[in-house]
Amino acid sequence: MCGIVGYKGKDEACDILINALKKLEYRGYDSAGIAIWHNNKIAVGRKKGKVDDLRKVISNGNFKGTMGLAHTRWATHGEPSERNAHPHRVRDVVVVHNGIIENYIELKEKLRNEGHKFASDTDTEVIPHLIISHLDKGKDFIEAVRLTLKELHGSYAVGIMREKEQIMIAARKESPLIVGVGNKEFFIASDAPAVIDRTNRFIFLEDNDMAVFRDDEMFLMNTDGEKVERKIHTVNWTGAMAEKGGYRHFMLKEIFEQPRAISETLLGRFKEEKGQVDFEELALPDLKKVKKIWMVACGTSYHACMIGKHMFEANLRIPVETDIASEFRYRNPILSENDILILVSQSGETADTIAAMKEGKRNGVYTLSICNVLGSTLARDADGVIFTHAGPEIGVASTKAFTTQISVFFMLMLHMAKKLGKMDTDEIRDMIAEIKKIPHKIQTILDHISPLEELARRYMTCKDFLYIGRGIHYPTVMEGALKLKEISYIHAEAYAAGEMKHGPIALIDENLPVVVVSPRDQTYQKTCGNIEEVLARRGRLILFTDDPSHEMADRVDAVFTVPETIYELLPILCVVPLQLIAYYIANLLGTDVDQPRNLAKSVTVE
């Protein structure tokens, strides 16, 4: 989603920037724009659509110069249109921005009171207006930018220029931005693939860093005005490797992107002081009249629906029915106009899920899609849409799409709970606080993964796996088993742990690894009983828990501990090590991790 590139050097900037934008197209976008500085003038071109459409707009010869910025936008605030496209110009200041400015409404009101007039619907436009406000108060350009950044709440990666000065400024907070260092030329980019053909030397900016490019030099400072030093990293990537950010596979990269993906999915949704999660744009039907909620999807997204069912029924007390999309319409479901039909798909183009949406529409049901692709069929045709903002997911085996879908279900549940009076303000505040901690807790897992690599080595030659869990952890282990079979081609079966006695227990012997998810929650003691059943039959048990003193820890083959959180969010933390152990086994076996045999990323046929 969204891409920033910038150039300051000795060559013509326009072609460099357009080519760089083309290399960021995988991120997804709906409009593109460019700004070129030359002799104290800035030419700006913007266009709804693709980079090639922008290229046509700027082919008039006016975009000559050796410094410039360019941008691809994925709409968050304001519809896809030329007026909302970046760069945004206010007088002689031009800005490109990724991220979300959470306090833009308050800043906009303040600026309007000072006489500023706004030309777009975006949160971004407050940035150049704030810079102008500080310039009008006598601040120099660099100081005006620094003071502006201090006023922003939320996330940003920005590139900024001013007509009157041959200076380019880049800065970041909670949104990726790198600096490329060449021979008397500098680049800024959201991701290395944009400029890897021009340089392989990069500075990875940290939160609150500002990079100032002036003359043939660059210096770094922070938003407190202090000089900072950052190491220049030399990377020996091919173009294909650069797209993977140095990771061996896209799947591993996407597993490691989950803290960022969830953070971006959460951005702009919370009004903590009011104990609210904001989904007002959905125009949901009167929730007090809703008799049933349907959740329909395929594969990994179906597992997310099963977790959503647990959340919704426990907290909203509305019946929820989950369906595999390919089965949904063939049983002639009894749909009512007072129902809500939630359709979940990473791509938004899953054929069976689209067919389920059409079935709902024929029956007058409100349809709500949860997907990751702007402009997809589900996003366009459903009555409402929530985007996961996971960014592009290239690996066929879904990872970050799954955890962002769970995050959306959690936020939607809180939104509905407030509307229905099922939770008070303090309860919702507490739950908002918990999900805001999840990205950091995932990062804690990712920082301590060596035991998972060792587990993979120990179990990689096994031909079968059994996964068990109870309650909300049953769909979690279903997802873990799916990941293993998808990419390693090892048979893996998931069962609700309480069903052990009804068949699967016959499989257990000293050769069968049994993966169990058993946090200390309301299912803890019952799951301990199921662990006893496995141990009594000499099964090789691998335990995933949030309890370092789990009473079975000393009796199982291996234990991996995740951070603690509330019951509804445990699946996000528990699935991450399950994703990783599947990845490591597949990698050791030498399978095609990113493109497993017989599978496609988007299933567009029924």
Written as one string, the DSSP assignment of 540-575 is: EEEEEES-TT-TTGGGSSEEEE-----GGGHHHHHH
Contact in structure between 31 and 80 (CB atoms under 8 Å)? yes
Catalytic residue (one of 2, 14, 371, 574): 2
The answer to whether 590 and 584 are in contact (CB under 8 A) is no
- For the record, the structure tokens of 583 come out as 């990845």
Tokens of 479: 């997802």
User: For tokens 């309007």, what's the residue?
Assistant: 112
Token pair 């970046």: residue: 86
DSSP state of 192: G
> 2 catalytic, yes or no?
yes
**Sequential DSSP letters for 303-349:** HHHHHHHHHHHHHH---EEEEEHHHHGGG-----TT-EEEEEESSS-
Nearest to 390 by CA among 409, 371, 416: 371
Residues 268 and 103: their CA atoms lie apart, in Å, by 9
339, 342, 343, 347: CA torsion to nearest 10: 150
User: Hey, CA dihedral for 360, 365, 369, 374, is it positive or negative?
Assistant: positive
Give the span between the Cα atoms of 388 and 150, in whole angstroms.
28
Residue 454 has a CB neighbour count (10 Å cut-off) of 12
Q: Check: CB of residue 411 under 8 Å from CB of residue 435.
A: yes
Q: Are 17 and 69 in contact (CB under 8 A)?
A: yes
DSSP strands (E only) in 336-391: 340-345, 366-371, 384-387
271 belongs to the catalytic site: no
Task: Report the candidate in 200, 167, 150 with the shortest Cα–Cα distance to residue 93.
Answer: 167
Check 110, 139, 419, 601 and give the catalytic one. 601
Q: Judge contact between 316 and 422, C-beta under 8 A.
A: yes
Exposed / middle / buried, residue 190 (Cβ in 10 Å: 0-12, 13-18, 19+): buried
Give me the residue label for tokens 């049953």: 474
List residues with catalytic annotation: 2, 601
